[in-house]
Structures are given as C-alpha cells and as structure tokens.
Amino acid sequence: MTGRDDGGEGETAGDEAGQGETIRGATRKGGMGADIGPIGNSPVVILVRPQLADNIGAVARAMANGGLFHLRLVAPRDGWPQERAWRQASGADRILDMLTLHDTVAEAVADLHHVYATCPRPRHIIKPVLTARGAAAELRAVCARDLRAGLLFGPERAGLDNDDMAHADALVRYPLNPAFMSLNLAQAVMVLAYEWWTAADETSARHLMTNETTIATKGELENFLGHLTAELDASGFLRNLPKRPGMVRNIRHLFQRGEVTEQELRTLHGVVTELSLGRRQRGRDEPG
C-alpha cells in the first residue's frame, strides 16, 4: 500500500526497546518534541524493511496525528538510528525515541494477539480483506478487550511479501482510485491512523462556528422580522395587498431555515434602519 520511494543515507541517533524486548542502541539524546505518549491500548505500527529514514519520521508524525504511539521497525534497510527521521517527525520525537528494532516479522508480532497487514493488491491469499474503516472498527473492538494488536506496513518499493502477510489475521486494502492507488508509506499509515482516531471521536460531522456570538432565539428572530416587515410596508414594497401574505411568508422562510446568530440580526436591524432613514431623508416616503 505504498508508493515508490528509494535512496536515503543513514545517520546516527538512537532508540530504545519497549517492554520485554531486547534493547538495541541508545535513545537519541537532546530531542525536543511534543508531549505525546500512549493513549489507552492502541495498535502497534510495524514497518517492515523500511527504506528511508525520512519516511520513518513522516510515519511517526502521522501516528501522532491519529493518537498512535507504539512503533516497531523490522530490518530497516539503512540501519537505525538515523537523524533524518527526527527531522521529518515534526515534533513526534518520542515515538522515534521509544520505537523498537526487530530482525524478523515473527519477532515483531510475537507478543500481539491480532495482526492486520496492508495489501495493495490480491496475492492469491485466502484471508479476510477489510477497508481502513473496517479495520479501525475491528481494532477498536480488539483493543477494548485489552488485547494487543498490530498493523504491518511493507517497504516502500514493493510492499509486504507473502511470507510477511502469513503472520496476519486479515488484510487491509484501501478503496482508492483503481487507476492510481499508489501511496507513500506515511500516507498509508495516515489513512489508518485517521480511521483509528475517528472511530472513537465524537466530533459532529457538521457544526456552525459562531465564535463570540450565539444562535438567535425565535423571539429575537420574530422581533427582527416584525421590524423588517414594518419597513417594507412603509417603503411600499408590500403594496400589492393580494400578494402581501405570500411575500411575507417567503421572507420568513428565508430567515427561518438557517441558524441566524444574534450578531447577524443586530447587523440586519442596522441595515433596515439605515435604509429607512435614508429613504425618509431623501423624501421618498410613500403615502399610507
């Protein structure tokens, strides 16, 4: 599920293993970053044979966006640690500081109960295939049972091979444009991180941002409509008496179908008042 990125040079930094795993190297010193850490029981992201330090750093950034924290690397091509990863992490340093290194996929998933593997195309494997949203829903259910889960992502050029996917319970395939389904490594992680986060997020799909004002009450709206109608009568706009009721109803529907704020009503009151003053000052009052 990744695009084609290659090249890159390894540099030095450090890392630290997680619970019950062999420590390889030392934690990078002097790193400054966001105050992030694990949020509940969240899935482990496992990068299998990643090629570029820049991509590893970008993955950490994507993980932090989606509330994921645990990162494992399996046989990174250019070794580890590499300073370029921290530069690309944009403050998600702690994810890189705490990641663990593993020689094989089997070692990386040994302590997990469920493993999902991203797969860009079918490879004659009989396994359940989930969308990113479906995988996130299952992961939430698994983690809610206090079980440990992992997400496998393959190397940038070719993705996971059949031996890698043999360690997975299910495959994850993103429903993207079939004519162009190429994603880079960080994008692939970001999609799942986003779905993981939103699976438990209660943010309304749509809301009106009112800032310092509030939604006007029906009474406040009725007061404005009375003001407007009176001035429309005075100006002669509603002088066609047979059509007047329908015209007034249409005006009311216009304002009633949206959530008008108090500030907007104050502005409209001012508009109507100034229009009526201007009309009277220019001698344009209509009789009656």
Residue 95 belongs to a domain: yes
Distance CA 227, CA 281 (A): 19
Residue 83, pLDDT score = 93
Asked if residue 168 and residue 51 are part of one domain, the reply reads yes
Residue 56 belongs to a domain: yes
Structural domain tally of the chain? 2
Residue 272 belongs to a domain: yes
Domain ends where: 140, 165, 198?
Answer: 198
Which residues of the chain carry a pLDDT beneath 50? 1-27, 29-30
Asked if residue 183 and residue 64 are part of one domain, the reply reads yes
Residue 62 belongs to a domain: yes
Asked if residue 169 and residue 78 are part of one domain, the reply reads yes
Residue 23 belongs to a domain: no
Asked if residue 224 and residue 183 are part of one domain, the reply reads no
* DSSP summary character for residue 31: -
Distance CA 161, CA 146 (A): 29
Residue 282, pLDDT score = 58
Residue 208 belongs to a domain: no
Question: Domain span at residue 138?
Answer: 44-198
Asked if residue 237 and residue 95 are part of one domain, the reply reads no
Residue 217, pLDDT score = 92
Residue 55, pLDDT score = 96
Asked if residue 256 and residue 147 are part of one domain, the reply reads no
Neighbour count for residue 31 (Cβ, 10 Å): 15
Asked if residue 125 and residue 262 are part of one domain, the reply reads no
Asked if residue 226 and residue 185 are part of one domain, the reply reads no
Instruction: DSSP for the chain, please give it.
Output: ------------------TTS---S-PPSS---------SS-PEEEEES---HHHHHHHHHHHHHTT---EEEES-TT-S--HHHHHHTTT-HHHHHH-EEESSHHHHHTT-SEEEEE-SS--S--S-EE-HHHHHHHHHHHHHTT--EEEEE--TTT---HHHHTT-SEEE-----TT-----HHHHHHHHHHHHHHTS----SS----TTS-BPPHHHHHHHHHHHHHHHHHHTTT--TTTHHHHHHHHHHHHHTS--BHHHHHHHHHHHHHHHHHHHHTT-PPP-
Distance CA 97, CA 27 (A): 6
The H or E element containing residue 156 is none
Q: What is the CATH classification number for the domain harbouring 58?
A: 3.40.1280.10
Residue 6 belongs to a domain: no
Asked if residue 126 and residue 192 are part of one domain, the reply reads yes
Asked if residue 91 and residue 55 are part of one domain, the reply reads yes
Asked if residue 229 and residue 121 are part of one domain, the reply reads no
Asked if residue 234 and residue 187 are part of one domain, the reply reads no
Q: What is the CATH classification number for the domain harbouring 276?
A: 1.10.8
Residue 139 belongs to a domain: yes
